[in-house]
Amino acid sequence: MSVLAKPLELPCGAVLRNRLAKAALSEQLATRANAPTDDLVRLYGRWAGSGASLLMTGNVAVDRTALSEPLNVSVEDERDLPGLRTWAAAAGSGGAEVWMQINHAGRQSPRYLSRRPVAPSPVAVRGLGGAFARPRELTHAEIEGLIARFATTAGIAVRAGFTGVQIHAAHGYLISQFLSPLTNRRDDAWGGDPRRRRRFLVEVVRAVRSTTGGHVPVSVKLNSADFQRGGLTWEESMEVAGVLGAEGVDLLEISGGTYESPALLTGDVRGSTRAREAYFLDFAERVRARTSVPLMLTGGFRTKAAMEEAVTSGAVDLIGLGRPMALAPDLPARLLAGDGVSSGVTPRRVGIRRLDGMSELAWHTEQLWRMGRGQDPDPGRHPVRSMLRYTAVSGLDAFRRRR
């Protein structure tokens, strides 16, 4: 039996039936009021039969005024509870665990959605054509209010039928901004040294746990590094991982990068890194020496052999598949069924460096939209067509939602 088929018991007692998980992908399939849609239900109904042991949702905003994209789902209260229950039921219909990823964009909420976003410190996102406004520094009271928002959203997720939650502390979003000395320049209870910079994350974890209870899995997605000079380093991130282990987190997902340094988010990496497949495996091996918390590694995996090697080595416990499952929604089942199976994901670029990251995002997002309409993915779709459609859909809705 492949090591990928072995179950994984989490510290809270929940059991994942194998070592393959669908990692979070931003679906952009909510209504303009940020509620779940039938397309979102159909998409996760398709993934319910994927063979994955865990389905992680795309980021769900804890605050409707702090979206990373206009059609994110947002959960602030129980107004959309029936739709959330339908979504969770469809996703879990095949027996997989279904966890809601909860997030706050912080300063990475585009200008057309948030004219004055909030952040730990008033440090603007550099470059990107001025797409992001300079943020306003959060007050102590507002920070405590945001901690409560994460807990509220997590509690509603569990009441809706999601079997766990993941706290998004990576990719330059709000919690990641608190962790990084580049974006957190405070000198109070929430910044000034590594212990105070990670306090916000620790308090969010504790608040979520107190709301969901000890039997519900609580995961954190953490950057290995920001890959920016003056940002979060490997060493400090490993310290955070150790603290999260002590806090009783059930699963730690390793990732990396921010909007300002997106290479590892878009797959624009060196040939040697791509050949090795697992982008963050070196970091995961170092984290393993610091903590026994189960580790999920996402980014770069394409072949069954590389996935098996990562798990067999003991470096990681769970393989996260994101974009590969936008192209092959049944990939986990195929990997478990036989040898020689690999992902067909390749770069989908337009040949203009400044637009290649967007074309990658748009191409894979359109595959999710197709499955949401009940269609199959279209591997032959030209990335320019996908980018134009993504821009049209997101742009029109952005104007409708402008704040």
The reply to whether 11 falls in a domain is: yes
Which DSSP helix (H) or strand (E) runs through 103? strand 97-103
Q: Residue 341: its pLDDT value, please?
A: 74
The reply to whether 48 falls in a domain is: yes
The 3 state secondary structure assigned to 330-372 is CHHHHHHHCCCCECCCCCCCCCCHHHHHHHHHHHHHHHHHHHH
The reply to whether 51 falls in a domain is: yes
Residue 100: strand, helix, or coil:
strand
Q: Residue 313: its pLDDT value, please?
A: 94
Look up the domain containing 200 and give its range: 3-347
Q: Residue 338: its pLDDT value, please?
A: 83
Domains contained in the chain, number? 1
Q: Residue 351: its pLDDT value, please?
A: 61
Q: Which CATH number does the domain housing residue 217 bear? A: 3.20.20.70
Q: What is the pLDDT along the chain (403 residues), one digit of tens a residue?
A: 899 999 999 999 999 999 999 999 999 999 999 999 999 999 999 999 999 999 999 999 999 999 999 999 999 999 999 999 999 999 999 999 999 999 999 999 999 899 899 999 999 998 766 889 999 999 999 999 999 999 999 999 999 999 999 999 999 999 999 999 999 999 999 999 999 999 999 999 999 999 999 999 999 999 887 776 677 888 899 999 999 999 999 999 998 776 666 554 455 444 444 445 678 899 999 999 889 999 999 988 989 999 999 999 999 999 999 999 999 999 999 999 986 677 767 667 656 665 556 778 888 999 999 999 999 999 988 877 887 888 777 766 655 554 4
The reply to whether 392 falls in a domain is: no
Query: What six digits make up the tokens of 267?
Result: 């797959």
The DSSP string of 181-239 is TTT----BTTBSSHHHHTHHHHHHHHHHHHHH-TTS-EEEEEES---STTS--HHHHHH
The reply to whether 354 falls in a domain is: no
CB 206 within 8 A of CB 220: no
Q: Residue 350: its pLDDT value, please?
A: 59
The reply to whether 227 falls in a domain is: yes
The reply to whether 158 falls in a domain is: yes
CA distance 201 to 95: 31
What's this model's pTM, rounded to 2 decimal places?
A: 0.93
The reply to whether 33 falls in a domain is: yes
Q: Residue 310: its pLDDT value, please?
A: 95
